[in-house]
Chains A and B, each alone.
Chain A
Amino acid sequence: QVTLKESGPVLVNPTETLTLTCTVSGFSLSNAKMGVSWIRQPPGKALEWLAYIFSNDEKSYSTSLRSRLTISKDTSKSQVVLTMTDMDPVDTGTYYCARIEEYYDSSGYYYWFDPWGQGTLVTVSS
Chain B
Amino acid sequence: SYELTQPPSVSVSPGQTARITCSGDALPNQFAYWFQQKPGQAPILVIYKDTERPSGIPERFSGSSSGPTVTLTISEVRAEDEADYYCQSAGSSATWVFGGGTKLTVL
Spell out A's residues near B (CB within 8 Å).
37, 39, 46-49, 52, 58, 60-64, 96, 107-108, 110-119
Contact = CB atoms under 8 A, between A and B. Distances in A.
Contacts of A116: 42-44
B70 to A, nearest CB: 13
Given A58-B94, A63-B95, A115-B42, 18 more contacts: A39-B98, A46-B86, A46-B99, A47-B43, A47-B86, A47-B98, A63-B91, A63-B92, A107-B49, A108-B31, A110-B31, A111-B31, A111-B90, A112-B45, A112-B54, A113-B33, A113-B45, A119-B42
Contacts of A62: 95
Interface residues of B, number: 26
A46 B86 CA distance: 8
B63 interface: no
B10 to A, nearest CB: 15
A107 B49 CA distance: 9
A49 B31 contact: no
Specify the main secondary structure of chain A where it touches its partner.
Answer: strand
B93 interface: yes
A96 B48 CA distance: 19
Contacts of A114: 44-45, 54
A111 B94 CA distance: 12
A37 B48 CA distance: 17
Interface in B33-88: 33, 35, 37, 42-45, 48-49, 54, 86, 88
Nearest to B2: A63
Contacts of B95: 49, 60-63
